[in-house]
Amino acid sequence: MNFKNTVVVAYPTTSTMKVVKEMAESKVYFKGLAIILDESSKVKGVFNDGDLIRLIGQGKSLDEPIAKVMTPNPIVVQQHLSNIEIIAEVQQQLLKREADVDALRDVIVVDQEGKLQNVLSYVSLMSSARDARKNVAVYGQGFVGITLSAALANLGHKVYGVDIQEAIIRKLKDNDIHVFEPRLNDIVLATQEAGSLEFTTGLEQEKVDYYIVAVGTPVNGKGNANLEALNAVTRSIGNRLKRGDVVMLRSTVPVGTTRNVVREILEETSGMEAAIDFHLAFAPERTAEGRAMEELRNLPQIVGGLSSLCAKRSMELWSSLTDSVIQVDSLEAAELVKLINNSFRDLSFAFANSVALLGDRFNINAFKLINAANEGYPRNRIPLPSPGVGGYCLTKDPFLFASVDKNSGHAKLAVNGRMVNEEAQSYALKQVKRYLKRKGKQIDDARIFIVGLAFKGWPETNDLRGSSSIFIAQELQKLGVKVVCYDNVVHYDDWKAFLPNVQPGTLEADLSESDVVLIMNNHPKNIPSNFLSLIRRGSEKMVFDGWSQLDMDAFKLIDNVSYATMGYLSEA
């Protein structure tokens, strides 16, 4: 990396005199500072004009290598931190070293390997931090809204989390968070106590400069988005919009919605013109449940504006959250980013599941098949299958991607991928029927234990939207099956509304007593260490290992247990 115009860099063996001379003659931005790097650009120390005065005062020679007179182990910060986080980190390091914060001029930024990436002025950082506080309203306090509200408030912004559901707002005020996300409870509690985060069912006189819309946009049976909540929130914002405000959509929408729907509502209700009187942008949400607080800081934020100034004003907020903010050419490009990310993921999973569904005809374990195809092959790694692809985003975004022109090839491709994943969702039921028929058991006499109810197990979440497990349980109930369920993360109170006639089970009892065990997500704690011992007990049974977490060969030693997974059912 070239720092020719930024700061003087030197190697440990360079003579002190040579470094001093370069500091005096070089026209760099950070004058009076030299950073000592090893051959791989890792920071080993610093030398500044204060060190030079100290050496001269001590009468020491300047012919020594700079490594002998530099300050080793200088204060450094990681490049992924926001400006406010950098200040907090620097102050913490200074406190540990009992150093004077007023004496610090420059901050060295490194990557995870300790390689020099940048140099920042500490004075400028402090100045920007004082000016960086924004007044933000986040509409919609579901998974997207609550995590974003907490992350922004944690950076010092004044954030109002808005949701029309009074029950949700009451819970949030009591720090009773309705989504499972590591660190979220602590951050919400701390930011509420600090006054940087407030929850409300509606804004009145609160000062707001940035409006972020994160309400749900569900699709109906025909794949069309329901924009009622989005339209209502947009009207509410338009009625209180003032000149210079920034409105950003975070909700996933059909392409063209920001320009053709949201813009018109805002202009009509406010009496102002977008990109002239106020700013309009789209910034897609792309975090994974279970990693949201981490990914909000580390993932690049995408911004598309109605104008370049709209994008720039939006980027001022996002740059406080992450160092990587990418501007795309238009509102439509930003809307498409989320749709193509999720549609591609869903389609790639659909191919893996199509392999499993094809393998079923030949009783082939799809996990072993795909792993064999991937082994040592450098191109186009195939993902692994699953008993359905659930969640809120992947089950609807392909339909939004296809909604622009439903008769086009790209639309049919996305929709067909969805159809394959919905077929895979029913595969566990197919294996249940096949096994019970083989054993001569009536399905309505069977006891079936479903393990893992959240739509995914890892990163862990309590989200039941689009859950294959819920679907299978409901289908089994229709057939008169005795169904019990267990999930290490999701509490009974959270899933009983989806399955009102299903009782919660326990691993200790129901792994032994059930006729069929369906392992439907990949949370490691859903499988106890004594799993094989437990399933040996009781009558014969089938274990459906939907995510191939168990050792298939171990079941060959158990006479009364059949093993099943995607594409395969043992002959036992």
CATH of the domain at 92: 3.10.580.10
Domain identity same for 168 and 316: yes
What pLDDT score was predicted for residue 101? 60
CA nearest to 30, candidates 108, 83, 90, 89: 108
End-of-domain residue from the set 396, 422, 448: 422
Distance CA 60, CA 499 (A): 80
Q: Which residues on adjacent β-strands are paired with residue 37?
A: 43
**Residue ranges of the chain whose pLDDT lies below 50:** 130
Domain identity same for 409 and 487: no
* pTM recorded for the entire structure: 0.74
Domain identity same for 294 and 161: yes
CA nearest to 454, candidates 301, 240, 290, 339: 290
Domain identity same for 437 and 565: yes
Domain identity same for 383 and 319: no
Domain identity same for 301 and 387: no
Distance CA 224, CA 415 (A): 12
What pLDDT score was predicted for residue 397? 93
One-letter amino acid at 203 equals L
Domain identity same for 441 and 407: no
* 2: in domain: no
End-of-domain residue from the set 374, 395, 422: 422
Domain identity same for 102 and 179: no
Map tokens 């809204």 to a residue: 145
* 177: in domain: yes
Number of domains in the chain: 4
What pLDDT score was predicted for residue 128? 64
* 296: in domain: yes
End-of-domain residue from the set 300, 329, 358: 329
What pLDDT score was predicted for residue 548? 97
What pLDDT score was predicted for residue 554? 92
Domain identity same for 383 and 479: no
* 544: in domain: yes
What pLDDT score was predicted for residue 121? 86
What domain range is 361 assigned to?
Answer: 339-422
Answer whether 397's CB lies under 8 Å from 254's CB: no
- Report the Cα–Cα distance between both ends of the chain, in Å, rounded: 62
